[in-house]
Amino acid sequence: MSRGILVATEPFDRDALVELIGAIDARGYDSCWLPELFGREPIATAGYLLGCTERIAIATGIANVYVRDAVAMAQARRSLAELSGGRFIVGLGVSNAALNAARGHRWEAPHAKLSAYLDAMDAARIDSPAPVSTAPLFIAAHGPQLQKLAGRRGDGAITYLMPPAHARASRERLGAGPGLNVVALCLAESDPAIARKKARAALATYVRLDYYHREWRKLGFEDADFADGGSDRLIDTLVVWGDRDALSRRIAEFDHAGASRVIVLPLGLRTRAGIDLRVIDALAPATR
């Protein structure tokens, strides 16, 4: 099973970011995934980081299909795969209705939107040298319809804020062939009160979103679990906290549930004292 890291790059200046990616690379992680938030543009950032590294793959995790057209995405996919020698990975998704509406986009049904977008990517004419290998393409998908699309039209699915039980159901839906990339939120903190406070702060936006509620309800959670920043049971299901053994056990649960890559999201990575590498060190493939 592969192991990656998801990094929100905004807290780091250029030199600190390159140093961090180098540290991740040196510890044996196969990929670094860049979310699309409110700061650095992920395609441009991926291109820069690919130019600063030699081994590790750089991935968009995820690039929002509403904010760049399919031809531009197809061009980026081919160009970065070629220029990096095959180290670029594409992660695509629809983000959410509120964020896209705020940017002036009209929300469409996710399955129809992604299907049409993939059709347009496939049809795009790109007059540039072919890469050594095509960049893998994964689709952010939690429910059955989008996961089937991810397995049929891409190289597999990406899930976020979902526990091992969801990964097990996802693997059953995808079948044995497609990849299943799961994001595991990890926190190096053994005090329950402190850990849950930090986890609630990190999840504050997501715990209010109804489309996450729909998936969590399938796993046995109720409305009361979504109140006041999330119940202890919900928080402990979505974020693993504790020492090296506790973190490793959660990763092993994802392995056994059928994940083909666990993408570790280390909470509290940026501190006033610098970069906290405890989660990255604890789960580093090079040390296992």
Residue 131's pLDDT is 96
- Contacts of residue 13, defined as CB under 8 A and 6 or more positions apart, other chains included, come to none
Per residue in 206-231, pLDDT tens? 999 999 999 999 999 999 999 999 99
pLDDT band at 287 (very low <50, low <70, confident <90, very high): low
Per residue in 58-94, pLDDT tens? 999 999 999 999 999 999 999 999 999 999 999 999 9
pLDDT at 275 over 60: yes
pLDDT at 286 over 80: no
- Contacts of residue 50, defined as CB under 8 A and 6 or more positions apart, other chains included, come to 58, 80, 83, 84, 87, 88
Residue 272's pLDDT is 82
What Å distances lie between residue 177 and 115, 192, 201, 221, CA to CA?
A: 20, 38, 36, 30
Q: What is the mean pLDDT of residues 175-191?
A: 98
Q: Record the pTM.
A: 0.96
Residue 259's pLDDT is 98
DSSP class of residue 263? E
Per residue in 115-155, pLDDT tens? 999 999 999 999 999 999 999 999 999 999 999 999 999 99
**Number of alpha helices (DSSP H) and beta strands (DSSP E) in the chain:** 12, 12
Residue 111's pLDDT is 98
Average pLDDT, the chain: 96
Token pair 């780091």 in the structure block, residue: 12
* Rounded percentage of the chain residues whose pLDDT exceeds 70: 99
Per residue in 27-62, pLDDT tens? 999 999 999 989 999 999 999 999 999 999 999 999
Instruction: For residue 194, give the amino acid letter.
Output: I
Residue 274's pLDDT is 86
For 2-185+243-268, the fitting CATH number among 3.20.20.30, 1.10.1040.10, 3.30.390.30, 3.30.2270.10 is 3.20.20.30
